[in-house]
Amino acid sequence: MTKIADKLKQVHQRIEKAAVAAGRDPQDIRLLAVSKTKPASMVREAWDAGQRAFGENYLQDALPKIAELADLDIEWHYIGRLQSNKTREISSHFAWVHGLDKLKHARRLGEQRPTGLAPLNCCIQVNLSGEASKGGVAPEALPQLADEIVKVPNLALRGLMTMPDPHSPREAQSRVFRGLARLRQELNTAGHKLDTLSMGMSGDLELAIGAGSTLVRIGTDIFGARD
Ligand SMILES: *Cc1c(COP(=O)(O)O)cnc(C)c1O
């Protein structure tokens, strides 16, 4: 067994253990392999081990990889910050966007989605830790943004995404995850149909799954530390 295959197996075991501990079905949690800064050869190795969904943060780094791996049926997720001048390429080459926090970007992504492709799956990023440096909409502004984004043609609003401050105490991180789960519930009670909670990374996937995550984004624990 290759090294990446071993790492993937370990991560799947952690997901399963955390799900069982939380009384949840492990099948309800998807693994997104975050391949940012890693070469296409490592993505191919993970694909050979059965992994199909991959996340990238940097467009210039991702586009050549996506081209090189076009022979594989990979589901690409854009998990980086959005910028208006990058929306066309993102909408053309990705199946999912996780960091949506502005209606302006949503409209551009929808308008620029090539005909013939399925709607672009989107998660709205919510800033629950109050860090000024971080992307994401404030919780108070979320309901209105969701009401507007769900109407944008060629997008499918699937859920919410968040990232706690990794240096904050675990209790604070857990509060952020539970907060996101509660926000999804409130939106669904108000009529939305959000099936995705994108939360949990290498260091906190157990906490996130305990709070209801349906998609964990794992880089380091699959591909090793980044430079
Ligand atoms: C890099 C990154 C990840 C993966 O983080 P690891 O700690 O390496 O697992 C997940 N989500 C986002 C948004 C990232 O930028």
Give tens-digit pLDDT for 17-54.
Answer: 999 999 999 999 999 999 999 999 999 999 999 999 99
**What pLDDT score was predicted for residue 32?**
99
Q: Which residue, judged by its Cα, is nearest atom 13 of ligand 1? A: 79
Distance of CA 155 from the midpoint of ligand 1 (Å) = 24
**What pLDDT score was predicted for residue 143?**
98
Q: Which of 158, 143, 161, 142 is nearest to 193 (CA)?
A: 158
201 lines ligand 1 (CB under 6 A): yes
With helix as H, strand as E and coil as C, how does 39-51 read? CHHHHHHHHHCCC
**What pLDDT score was predicted for residue 79?**
98
Q: Render pLDDT for 170-184 as a digit per residue (tens, 0 to 9).
A: 999 999 999 999 999
Give the mean pLDDT of 215-225.
97
Q: Render pLDDT for 108-123 as a digit per residue (tens, 0 to 9).
A: 999 999 999 999 999 9
Distance CA 160, CA 217 (A): 13
Please check the confidence at residue 2 and state whether its pLDDT lies above 70.
no
Please check the confidence at residue 1 and state whether its pLDDT lies above 60.
no
DSSP states of 87-128: HHHHHHH-SEEEEE--HHHHHHHHHHSPTTSPPEEEEEEB--
Q: Which atom of ligand 1 is nearest to the CA of 79?
A: 13
Q: Render pLDDT for 146-171 as a digit per residue (tens, 0 to 9).
A: 999 999 999 999 999 999 998 899 99
- Tokens matching residue 108: 């551009």
Q: Render pLDDT for 43-97 as a digit per residue (tens, 0 to 9).
A: 999 999 999 999 999 999 999 999 999 999 999 999 999 999 999 999 999 999 9
Q: Render pLDDT for 186-205 as a digit per residue (tens, 0 to 9).
A: 999 999 999 999 999 999 99
Please check the confidence at residue 136 and state whether its pLDDT lies above 80.
yes
Contact 80, 56 (CB under 8 A): yes
198 lines ligand 1 (CB under 6 A): no
Q: Which residues of 133-156 are buried (b: 16+ CB within 10 A; e: fewer)?
A: ebbbbebeebeebbeebbebebbe
- Among 55-59, 142-146, 218-222, 223-227, which is the least confidently predicted range? 223-227
Please check the confidence at residue 185 and state whether its pLDDT lies above 60.
yes
219 lines ligand 1 (CB under 6 A): yes
**What pLDDT score was predicted for residue 188?**
98
